[in-house]
Structures are given as structure tokens and as C-alpha cells.
Amino acid sequence: MIIVLKTNASEEQIQHICDRIEKMDLMAHLSRGTFRTVIGVIGDEAKAQVAPLEALPGVDQVVAIMKPYKLASLDAHPQPSVVDVSGVKVGGGNLAMIAGPCAVEEEERMDRIAAAIVDAGANILRGGAFKPRTSPYAFQGMGKEGLRILRDVGQRHNIPVVTEVMDPRDVELVAEYADLLQIGARNMQNFSLLKEVGDSTRPVLLKRGMSATVQDLLMCAEYILSKGNSQVILCERGLRGFDSYTRNLYDVACVPIVKELSHLPIIVDPSHATGKPSLIPPCALAGIAAGADGVHIEVHDCPEEALSDGPQSLLPSQYEEVMQQMQGLAQLLGKQISPLAGAISS
Amino acid sequence: MIIVLKTNASEEQIQHICDRIEKMDLMAHLSRGTFRTVIGVIGDEAKAQVAPLEALPGVDQVVAIMKPYKLASLDAHPQPSVVDVSGVKVGGGNLAMIAGPCAVEEEERMDRIAAAIVDAGANILRGGAFKPRTSPYAFQGMGKEGLRILRDVGQRHNIPVVTEVMDPRDVELVAEYADLLQIGARNMQNFSLLKEVGDSTRPVLLKRGMSATVQDLLMCAEYILSKGNSQVILCERGLRGFDSYTRNLYDVACVPIVKELSHLPIIVDPSHATGKPSLIPPCALAGIAAGADGVHIEVHDCPEEALSDGPQSLLPSQYEEVMQQMQGLAQLLGKQISPLAGAISS
Amino acid sequence: MIIVLKTNASEEQIQHICDRIEKMDLMAHLSRGTFRTVIGVIGDEAKAQVAPLEALPGVDQVVAIMKPYKLASLDAHPQPSVVDVSGVKVGGGNLAMIAGPCAVEEEERMDRIAAAIVDAGANILRGGAFKPRTSPYAFQGMGKEGLRILRDVGQRHNIPVVTEVMDPRDVELVAEYADLLQIGARNMQNFSLLKEVGDSTRPVLLKRGMSATVQDLLMCAEYILSKGNSQVILCERGLRGFDSYTRNLYDVACVPIVKELSHLPIIVDPSHATGKPSLIPPCALAGIAAGADGVHIEVHDCPEEALSDGPQSLLPSQYEEVMQQMQGLAQLLGKQISPLAGAISS
Amino acid sequence: MIIVLKTNASEEQIQHICDRIEKMDLMAHLSRGTFRTVIGVIGDEAKAQVAPLEALPGVDQVVAIMKPYKLASLDAHPQPSVVDVSGVKVGGGNLAMIAGPCAVEEEERMDRIAAAIVDAGANILRGGAFKPRTSPYAFQGMGKEGLRILRDVGQRHNIPVVTEVMDPRDVELVAEYADLLQIGARNMQNFSLLKEVGDSTRPVLLKRGMSATVQDLLMCAEYILSKGNSQVILCERGLRGFDSYTRNLYDVACVPIVKELSHLPIIVDPSHATGKPSLIPPCALAGIAAGADGVHIEVHDCPEEALSDGPQSLLPSQYEEVMQQMQGLAQLLGKQISPLAGAISS
């Protein structure tokens, strides 16, 4: 850590700052420049990062050098992590292909959609039972019955399932039914919820918040990792942007950035990132080309009847087409879509 | 609601869309233009807003006309609401002056700070017991003991207190100790938490998320109002911006926008919005000038020792100075800082 | 165009609005809903778009239906345009691979770099002679001598050249030396400059501004097209973002959006979009996968000596590697990197 | 300047970096920490800021300490500058009140509006003769005849005038007619234009670009100052935001930030920043309260007939009302609206 002092910092202030640093069992290394004095903090920077050094009189700027996350960093784990979702491998060249309707609505429909996406090559089935809706008057999900349907359909088609958990009180319940617990973008910094899934034995799909930096995202993963759950998959699903043509702003560069900072797998969600069916296939391919460990796409067999997010869903036939293109691209890059063969849904 | 059709929409598609609208007990009103056909939806638009009409074949764009919030809207309640925080009135010309440290740290310190801010004219004391920190390794708050200290200090100084609640499981506990429940920016769309405080009898301070539109904010207030709790105060505390000079981007125009859409009081928080003590006084005054119903400022008597957010706190003497300026401005605008006199902390 | 009236609009106001519409030789079509009245404007909407209808008393909102650009729109030209840059085709399955240093610095170096990028398969050579620098104290480019070097080097290697023009007074001069005129992101809305290149016979590379919507970009292309120059290539080079880890925020979805709105070719510039060499290859591949008609990459043989933008340049060997990957991807997508063979630099 | 090295930087790389620094006549000061080595660059940092040090092998991060602008900085000129616009003082407690229509349309109308705003207390008249319009099909301004009308009307009402210049070729012409040259937000980084107005003897009103940091804005002022023109007034007019409710996002904190970094006066433009008449008065007051040196407001006597930006104009009566409120606020803050008395329009 480097502390840049104000041009007019007094000797007394400098001494006071050095004293504070040494009280934290760190060393202060003074460097007097032509216009400014700079103090290098030597030792375990983590101790200093949580202290309010910018509030010390005479301090102009504090520059962190060490990353504030440890377990999520590439330093801690130089090889890419491979997360195991009930037999489906994610990361290290293995691609997750998550598909399904926004919300679980009805068992028969879920069955039809599951059959179609498994046929197209998907390896994880999605479906929301607890839905975070912007309006309190919109459909809030089927709850426990939705979880039951999702699990039963997954078992019938021998495909693991993922669903969102929104409330720390529901983590145990959802973990009984789902192979992968999803934390939605709006709850990325719901720290109570993160701690709770950190205590679970289920892997976690952590979606990036709409205005989260990559470091913010990794700090949230760190919350989960630091509780002992090392099975975390990250997901880019679009940022808040200024162009209303799309629902969000798809940040594909997030993928290689995560790769150079962390060992955790990261997938992309072009459905939420764009909100427009026509843009989903090109953005899905862009994600794979950028190095993503998988793609999350909403699929519904009758979007106009969907109870949630219908307008951004692909039809099963459209999904099949983009899956074929992604297969070709994965092959070119020397990666594979993880096979369902070995997967045993819980 | 207006449905704009694609240039090439077929007669069959148009008929199908009209049928769907009529099934919702609404009327479809066709208007064939030179280049496009447009369908006006007549009736209670709320029914149509939650349906995925954009997914209908032939539809290009759906334009909502009615606001999706009802209870929060000015239509529902044309006069400004006045929220009562244990005797301190907020809204309708009555200003809330909330001050105190970011986190409750120690009883004696809290006592000193409370004395100073009451002296300066503040009417609500703040202090965090549960802290949402970006790092799992940073101080997470004193929890229940922090609540106890905050309440006791508040009672000693006869000033109501506000503190953040982060977990739906804690709402009841926090409501025992606090006069006003704060929902932090990161939890603005934590719908489980919103529903829980909606069931409380305590008033709620709802902070705007870093990438929330004003409509998003009002929809979150609607979650609380729709559960029966009508005592909601909104708070602008900065958006995610691109200039790293400040912590956030202070959106002062949010204040008059809320005023033209809603009856709910709105205050500003220049401490979190800017993150820099030097910018807090001018931004506080700007908030009042723009019509805010109060100002939230972090005050600490030794920022360099603060366990959280020290660098953005004002010293008690700095707070006193800005309070004098705000007094003058309030007077000019024909408003008053609500007196503590009648307030009885619970 | 649809005009949504205020709930309390009077009959007199409605009549006045209809009169104004009819004075513009358009038809007003009234639709009285349960809560609101809506007026559809029938006829050539372009006439209405430039009138301040929102200022009419009683008007709440004006919703445009027609796109405000005509020549740039897919309606005007349903097939993808192919731009010819002195023999190198761009668009319609033909990829432009633009490479070279940020600034022209010295003839020998330019020669070495040109040899390397031609060898790697690039088909247009870049190099700045007039440089838009944020600091008035930074190197501003070699001017005319830089243009001379660029052209001579291009001719020696039989590759067309592109360079930026910043001043309307320089358009004629730059057009003498360059095969393709670049308008930089900071000048995207420099309308005097756009009109001037619109009068040129040289094709134009128009870079998207850092906070421009896709519609803003297309409107700027429209300025050029409306002056009679139909040879416009668009370029996405990153938006202003909130994460300081990268220089800008790479908006890859811009590519398929342009494709569904316009016939103009669009390329991507991952060098400026990310500012980090490590991120350029994955983002270049993502661009091609998303449907881009080419990629612009800065290449320098000794980035630490570059007079401008060194830190974001690839080494020739790194460029060669990413070009091989892009070749493979182009083939998979049924596209080709335009051959230099037929190209005759002017 | 501080250069943070990568954890794995070799001794050879470190030596190479030190050599490069010393070749620039600067001193390298090595500081070896527990995890990282850091090099402090001692001497005139400006030399180092324009070199591509981040491209040196072994370098992780370069942290600038000195501001890259000199003439615009408070260090260069610790007292607030007062700009003289043909007798109207701006800065140092003197407020500019700029008002008038978006575009000059007709002499009689201009006369009526000028009379009204002078009556209300404005001290600079605005009116566009060259208009930067997003559409090439929209009204582009009256050009030279517009300049003539503006000057004549200004002289009749004894009020200085400001108008936009968009093209470096027009600077001389516009300077003949206008007392203050406006650089619009879209041209903030049109460096050719900045250099040209830097050569003028007229003061300059420099509007902040929609995605410019405060430092970007000050660097553009530096372009003008470095050419010898020290009469620069800055203007905040809204950033690109994500909430389509307003045209732009009003960044009122820009005012006190400029005040702590620079001596240049800064005014606010709530008309462009919000685009909604109802929001202009509260945002104007917020600007003054935050310390702005003036307010720019569009006024038109019949907004529905305005050829440009009608919907965001105030009526003369609305302007008069907000001027009275601003008068009261200025008085409270110990400032004055500069009197026209001494002003002699050129």
C-alpha cells in the first residue's frame, strides 16, 4: 500500500502516520519527492486495507497494491477451478450449457422444455421458483411446488437443475431440491444470503450485479469461499447502460478479466444481458469466443404465455440452432460441452 | 398502453394480438398509420403490464402509459406525506437531520457524538450495528450489542435512532431497538427484506440503489406500501459513476423528480454520495435547495479511528457549521428542521 | 408518432394539438382511453420529429415510431453494404483487418511494422499523423510529414492506409494521402467535420463516441451519407464505464444491434476498448463471433518507446497469433479476411 | 509518480525501468516491500506522464501523483479567477445569469425575449446561430444572420451575448459578434477548435462533455489556457445517465470538485442537464447552493414554436420566478448577481 501525502503535510503529521502504520505491525518506508512525500507500507497489506488511513491528517490518497480478495485470486489457486454440478463439470475447458424457462409454471410444460433442451445438448436445466420481480403485483413464483416440479423434471431427464434462492431462510429448502444455487444480480451484495450459501454444500452460481466492478464480484465470491464453500461459478449478465435499445449492457470483457484475476469459472447470460431474442445468439458466441466457461439462455416453448421474461426467451428450435454454432466454436477452441452421461441428478 | 406493430405484421398476427388483449378484459383500439399500425389498449393497464406482450409475433414495441406503482404515486395521495419518526416529523416542510457515526463502536464515543449532533440541531441519531461491508474480512458491526448501545444513547439524549437491517430474520429484533429501519442501497431490491419491513410498524428509510432509476426506487417503496406499511422515507445516496474522484455520483435531480411522481418524503445522503468530507457541505446545501426533506450526514469525533467509513465522516465542529448553513437555507425556503422537543424515543 | 396526453388535458388543448399536426400536413388520429387520451400522428413522421411537440400544453410524452435516420437504415438498403477501401472489401462477409501503431513516428519503424502486419495477414495499415491527445503537452503527431510516411510505407507494402482527420480544414490534405479517413470517437459529433468528409470521395471509418447510443452513431453516419458519401464503416471502440480496470467498456452487442438496424459494415477496436494487451485477443475473437466485419488492433514493435498509446499495443508476434485464431474463426463462420492481392494503394 | 512492479519482476527488468527513468532526467527511488517492489519517480512528473511506462516489462501499474494540468490548477493560481465578459464579472462571488432561446430565430422574438430576461435580472444573453443537431435534417441555425441579430439585440438591451462556435474556421467570425464564445459539450474534446479559441481574445464558455471526468474538463481548459487565453468559464450541463426520465444526469458535485482543483469559474446549465422545465428551478437553486458562479437557462416565449429545444425552455414568467429565488439564495451566501450597469456590449 502506498500513502501519498498532501503537498503541505507537516513533519508532525508524517510522524503520526508512521506511528499508526507501525501500530498495525507494518513498516513505513518514507520517500521524499520533489513535490510530494510518499509512504510505502510494507508487510501484510490486508491489515491496512480495512483501516481508515485516508482520514489521517496530511493524507491525500491511499493506493492499494494487493488485491483485497485472497481465496478467489489466481495467486491462491493458479490453476482454473473445475466446479462439479452433480456430475457436470464447469471450468477448465468444460462448458456449462444452462437452459430453461425464466419461471417454473407447470409440470407438463417444464417437461416439454426439458426434453427439448436436453436434446439440443444443454447440461443444466434452469427454472425459477422464487422470482425477484420489480413489481409487487407481478407473478412471484410457485415457491416450494415449483422446486418440486423442477427437481422431478430434472430427474426424469437426468439433468441437474439450478434455481434462484432469494432469502437466507430458504437456502436449506432450495438446497434440498437444486443441484446448483443461484444468487441473482440484485442480491449479489446481500451479504446475509452469501454467508448462508457459503455454509451450504451445494455449488453456487453467483450473478454479477448491474453496477458491480469485477473486484466487487470477486469480493462477493470471497464471502462464499471464506465460509468454506469453494464451489462458486460466476456469471456476467449485463450492466446498467444508457442505451434503452437493450435491457442491459453486455460486458463480455468481464470474462477475460476474471480469467486473469481468478481461478473461478465464469459463464455468460446473454438473455438477461440483452433482453432481445435476436441478440442472444451473437452474444452467446461472443461469450464463448472470449473464453467463457458456459452460457445461460432462457428457453420457453411459448414466450407469449410465459409468466416472466417471455420476451427475452428463445424458442426450442432457436436454442437448438445456437447450440450447434456453440458446439462448432467450442471444438475450434479445444473445449467441450460437458456431457450429461455421468451426471446423476440428486 | 400502446402496442406498435412491425411494418410487416400480418392481418392474422394483428387479430391474434387483439384476441389476447380482449382475453385480459381490455379493449384493443386499432389505428392504421401510413407506415405502421398501432394498437391502443384501453382499460386497466396494470393487467397488461405484467403480460409478455412484446413476445407476441408482429409486435415491435410496447409503450406503457400508466405508472406501474400505485400507492407510491402522487395520483394515490396528492398531498406530500409526513412520516412520523417517534415524534420527529419528516416531509411536508419538516426536515429530518440524521447524523452519527457509520458504525456503533463503543458506548462512550457514541455518547459524545450524540451530544454533539443534538447540540448542532440534528433530530435523528444514526449508527450501524449490522454493517454491509464489501470485504468479508472487514468489521461487520457489533450486532445486538450495537443495537442496545444505540437505543440507550438515543434515550439518554432524547433523540430517535435509525439503524440498518440487512437480513429478514433480524427485522423484528432491530424494530425493538430502532425508531426507523434503514434498508441500505445494496439491499434496495432485496424483496424478501422489503416484504418483511412492510409488515413492521416501524417507519422505513429506503436508500436508492447505485444503478436504480427513480421508478425502480418507487417500485421498491411500493413493495413496502403494498404490505401495509405507509411510513416510507426515500434517500438518494449516489449512483455508480465513471469519475473515480468521488465514491459515487450524487444525483440531486432525483429529489424534484420524486416530488413530481410521488408523495413520499425524500432525503439526501451526501456522505455516501461523495465519500469526501470537503464535498459534503456544498452537496448537503444543494440537496436542501433542490427540495429534499432532510439530510443524512456521517459524523465521527476521530475519523482516523473509525471502524467503518472514517474517511467520509465530518468532525462534530464541521457538522455544526454545515447545520448552521442549512438552518439559514431552510428558513429562506419556508421550511423548518423538525424540533426534538416532542420526540419520545421508544 | 404517438402523442400521449396528460390525464387532465382539456378539450381546447387537444384541439390545439390536432391543429398543429394538421398544419404540418399530417393527420391526427384521436384515441380516448379509460385514463388517458392518445393522438396518433399519421403521415411522414420525419416532419413531426423535428417539431417541439413536447412543449405543447397538455402533452405528457411523445413516442417516435419511425427511425430518425433514413439512408443508414436497413429499410433504405436491405442488403449489407460492401465498402471498397482501395481494393479491400469491407462488409458482406469480407473482413477488414486494420493494424499498425497509434502514431506514425519514424519511417524505418513504420516500414518494419508494416512488413510484420502484412505478413500476419492484415489488409489495412493504420498510423496517426494528427493525434487527439487529452494533454496539450503530449505528442500531437507528425502532421503532413506523418501522412507522407504513412502513404509511402503503404505503397511499398501494397496495403491501403487509414489515418485520423480532426479538423475540417485538413480533410482535403488527408484525403490526398489516405485510402480511408478516420473520424475519432471524440469527434463523432463534430458535425462540421462530418459534413466535410461527407463531401469527400474517400471512404470513412466512423468511431463511436464514448457515450453514444447506437442511434446517435447511426445519426452521425447519416450526416455523412446525406452529403453523398455512401462509403461509411462504423467502429465500436468502447464506452465510458465505471470499472477503472479497463480503459473503456467494450460493448460487443453493438455489433448485432447495428446489423439489425443498418446495412453499414461495423468493425471492433479492442485496443481502445480495453487498453490492456492481455484483453485484446479474447475481445477481438468475441467481436468476430458477434458478427463484426473486421477488427482494428494497435501493433508496435517496441511499445515502451511508442509516442502514443504504447501500453495498449500488441507486439507483432502477438498480433500474428491472434490473426491465426481470427482466421480460424472467420472460416468457421463462412467469412474471409479480404485479400490484399487486388488492392492498389492510391 | 509511483511505478508498482509485478510480483515476478526480474532484477534485469527493474534495472531497465530505472535506466529509462534516469534517461528522462528523473530519479528512481526503489522500495522493496514484502510482496511487491515499488519505484518512486522523483523530479518533474510531467516528463514521465507522457511516456508509456506501463508498457515496460515488469510494470503492473503506474500511479500519477501530480495533476496533469498546470495552468488550470489551484496551485498555479490560488485565488478564484474572475472572468470579465464585456463588463459582466463571473467568478469570485459574482454570478453570471445567462438566458435566452436555444436558437436565434427571428429578430422581433429575440428582442422580446431579451427585454424579458434583462427585466428579470439576467446579465448575459444567449442564442445559437450555429446549432449542433443530432439530425442532419433538423434546423442547423441561421448562421451569420443569426450572429448579426444576436449582436444587435444585445446592443439594444445593453447586455453581452454568448453563442456557440462549432468550427475552427468560424472562430474569427463569431468573435466579431459575440462577447463570449461557447464550446458545446459535443466539441469539448475537439482539440482543433480549442486551440483556435485559445488564440482568440474573447473569453470562452467551455461546456463539459457528457462522459467527461472533471480532470478531462480541466485538461480541455488547459488546451485553451496554454495558448494564452486565460478567460475560461466552465459549465456543467449533465452527463449521460441510465434513467430516461431526464435528458441527462445533472452532476451538481462537479461544482465543488472544480472549486477544490481549479481557480476557474464554473456555472451550471439545468436546462440541458434535465431537459424538463419542471426540474430546472430546483436544479438551478441546487447549483447556486453548491457554489456555482452562475446559471445558464433557456428561455423562450413560445416553446411550442421554438426551432430547437423548445420542450426544455422556461417561459419568461417562469424565468422571472426562479431568478427571484436565486437572488434570495445569492444574498444568503454573500454573493451577488453581477450588475449589467457597467457592461458595454461590443
Indicate the residue of B132, B169, B191 with minimum beta-carbon distance to A166: B191
Phi/psi at A64 (5° precision): -80, 140
Neighbours of D280 (CB within 10 A): 27
Residues in chain B closer than 8 A to A138 (CB atoms): 50
Query: Which chains share 3+ C-beta pairs under 8 angstroms with B?
Result: A, C, D
Question: Does residue C341 have a pLDDT over 90?
Answer: no
Query: Quick check: is A305 in a domain?
Result: yes
Least CA distance to A68: which residue of chain B? B135
Handedness of CA C277, C283, C285, C287 (dihedral sign): negative
Q: Would the CB atoms of C219 and D135 count as touching at under 8 Å?
A: yes
CA distance C330 to chain D (A): 30
CA gap A343, B73 in Å, rounded: 51
Least CA distance to A227: which residue of chain B? B136
Q: Would the CB atoms of B189 and A132 count as touching at under 8 Å?
A: yes
Q: Would the CB atoms of A38 and D244 count as touching at under 8 Å?
A: no
DSSP-derived 3-state class of residue C263: coil
CA distance B334 to chain A (A): 36
Structural domain span for residue C15: 2-63
- C24 with C97, same domain: the answer is no
CA distance A334 to chain B (A): 36
- C136 with C213, same domain: the answer is yes
Q: Would the CB atoms of D137 and C305 count as touching at under 8 Å?
A: no
CB neighbours of D124 closer than 8 A, spacing ≥ 6?
D85, D88, D96, D97, D98, D99, D159, D160, D161, D162, D179, D180
Least CA distance to B41: which residue of chain C? C33
Query: Quick check: is B342 in a domain?
Result: no
In chain D, the N- to C-terminal Cα span, in Å, equals 47
- C45 with C12, same domain: the answer is yes
Query: Quick check: is C25 in a domain?
Result: yes
Indicate the residue of B136, B169, B311 with minimum beta-carbon distance to A55: B311
- How many residues appear in chain A? 346
- A181 with A129, same domain: the answer is yes
Q: Model confidence at C46, in pLDDT bands (50, 70, 90)?
A: confident
- B111 with B13, same domain: the answer is no
CATH code, domain with C28: 3.30.70.1140
Residue C141 · residue C131 · CB < 8 Å: yes
Residues in chain A closer than 8 A to D61 (CB atoms): 65
What local confidence, expressed as pLDDT, does residue A345 receive?
Answer: 45
Indicate the residue of C253, C278, C291 with minimum beta-carbon distance to A246: C253
* Residues of chain A above pLDDT 70, percent: 98
Residues in chain D closer than 8 A to C217 (CB atoms): none
Query: Which chains share 3+ C-beta pairs under 8 angstroms with A?
Result: B, C, D
- D23 with D117, same domain: the answer is no
- The chain B residues in contact with chain D (CB within 8 A) are 211, 213-215, 239, 241-246, 249-253, 255-257, 259-260, 273-274, 278-279, 282-283, 285-291, 328-329, 332
Residues in chain C closer than 8 A to A329 (CB atoms): 289, 329, 332
Q: Would the CB atoms of A252 and C250 count as touching at under 8 Å?
A: yes
CA gap D275, B335 in Å, rounded: 27
The domain total for chain A is 2
The cell for A129 is 421458483
Q: Which of D30, D42, D210 to mutate to test binding with chain A, by most A CBs within 10 Å of its CB?
A: D42
Query: Quick check: is C68 in a domain?
Result: no
CA distance D304 to chain A (A): 26
What local confidence, expressed as pLDDT, does residue C4 receive?
Answer: 86
Residues in chain D closer than 8 A to C56 (CB atoms): 304
Q: In 3-state terms, chain A is what percent helix, strand and coil (to 5)?
A: 40, 20, 40
Which residues are paired to A295 by β-bridges? Answer: A97, A268
Query: Quick check: is C77 in a domain?
Result: no
Q: Would the CB atoms of D253 and B249 count as touching at under 8 Å?
A: yes
Q: Would the CB atoms of B167 and A192 count as touching at under 8 Å?
A: yes
Alpha carbon of residue B339 to chain centroid: 22
- B48 with B172, same domain: the answer is no
State which amino acid sits at residue D137.
Y
CA distance B241 to chain C (A): 6
Indicate the residue of A251, A274, A332 with minimum beta-carbon distance to C249: A251
- D132 with D244, same domain: the answer is yes
Residue D96 · residue D123 · CB < 8 Å: yes
Least CA distance to B211: which residue of chain C? C242
State which amino acid sits at residue C261.
L
Q: Would the CB atoms of C260 and A243 count as touching at under 8 Å?
A: no
CB pairs under 8 A between A and B: 126
What local confidence, expressed as pLDDT, does residue D342 receive?
Answer: 53
- D279-310 confidence digits (pLDDT tens): 999 999 999 999 999 999 999 998 888 888 77
Query: Quick check: is C69 in a domain?
Result: no
Indicate the residue of A52, A209, A223 with minimum beta-carbon distance to B303: A52
- B250 with B207, same domain: the answer is yes
**The residue to which cell 456469471 is assigned:** A235
* Residues of chain C above pLDDT 70, percent: 98
By DSSP bridging, strand D2-5 and strand C124-126 are unpaired
Indicate the residue of D192, D219, D306 with minimum beta-carbon distance to C167: D192
CA gap B185, B182 in Å, rounded: 9
CATH code, domain with D183: 3.20.20.70
Query: Which chains share 3+ C-beta pairs under 8 angstroms with D?
Result: A, B, C
Report in angstroms the alpha-carbon separations of A52 from A47, A300, B272, C235, D51: 11, 50, 15, 44, 33
The cell for D9 is 519482476
Q: Would the CB atoms of A42 and D33 count as touching at under 8 Å?
A: yes
- A50 with A91, same domain: the answer is no
Q: Hey, which of A33-42, A88-97, D64-73 has the most confident mean pLDDT? A: A88-97
CB neighbours of B11 closer than 8 A, spacing ≥ 6?
none
pTM comes to 0.95
Query: Quick check: is A211 in a domain?
Result: yes
By DSSP bridging, strand A59-63 and strand A83-85 are unpaired
User: Looking at A138-147, C96-105, C107-116, D2-11, which range is the least confident one?
Assistant: D2-11
DSSP-derived 3-state class of residue C316: helix
- C277-335 confidence digits (pLDDT tens): 999 999 999 999 999 999 999 999 988 888 887 788 999 999 999 999 999 999 999 99
Handedness of CA C276, C279, C284, C286 (dihedral sign): negative
Residues in chain B closer than 8 A to A191 (CB atoms): 132-133, 136, 166, 186
Q: Which residue has the higher pLDDT, A273 or C1?
A: A273
Residues in chain C closer than 8 A to D211 (CB atoms): 209-211, 239-240
CA gap A116, A93 in Å, rounded: 25
Neighbours of C246 (CB within 10 A): 21
- C298 with C206, same domain: the answer is yes
Q: Which residue has the higher pLDDT, A34 or B3?
A: B3
Residues in chain C closer than 8 A to B4 (CB atoms): 2, 63, 65
By DSSP bridging, strand C27-32 and strand B180-183 are unpaired
What local confidence, expressed as pLDDT, does residue D346 receive?
Answer: 43
Q: Would the CB atoms of D52 and C310 count as touching at under 8 Å?
A: yes
Indicate the residue of D53, D186, D223 with minimum beta-carbon distance to C189: D186
Q: Which residue has the higher pLDDT, C130 or B39?
A: C130
Indicate the residue of A54, A166, A313 with minimum beta-carbon distance to B311: A54
CA gap C43, C60 in Å, rounded: 21
Which residues are paired to D205 by β-bridges? Answer: D182, D233
Q: Would the CB atoms of D311 and C55 count as touching at under 8 Å?
A: yes
Least CA distance to C131: which residue of chain D? D191
pLDDT tens, chain B, 346 aa long: 888 888 889 999 999 999 988 888 888 888 887 777 888 888 777 777 777 888 888 888 888 878 889 999 998 899 999 999 999 999 999 999 999 999 999 999 999 999 999 999 999 999 999 999 888 988 899 999 999 999 999 999 999 999 999 999 999 999 999 999 999 999 999 999 999 999 999 999 999 999 999 999 999 999 999 999 999 999 999 999 999 999 999 999 999 999 999 999 999 999 999 999 999 999 999 999 999 999 999 999 988 888 887 788 999 999 999 999 999 999 999 999 999 965 444 4
Q: Which residue has the higher pLDDT, D89 or B46?
A: D89
Looking at residues C135-144, what average pLDDT do you find?
91
CA distance A13 to chain D (A): 19
The cell for D116 is 424579458
Residues in chain A closer than 8 A to D248 (CB atoms): none
CA gap A32, A53 in Å, rounded: 19
Query: Quick check: is A346 in a domain?
Result: no
By DSSP bridging, strand D88-90 and strand D83-85 are antiparallel
Indicate the residue of D7, D29, D34 with minimum beta-carbon distance to A31: D29
- C99 with C242, same domain: the answer is yes
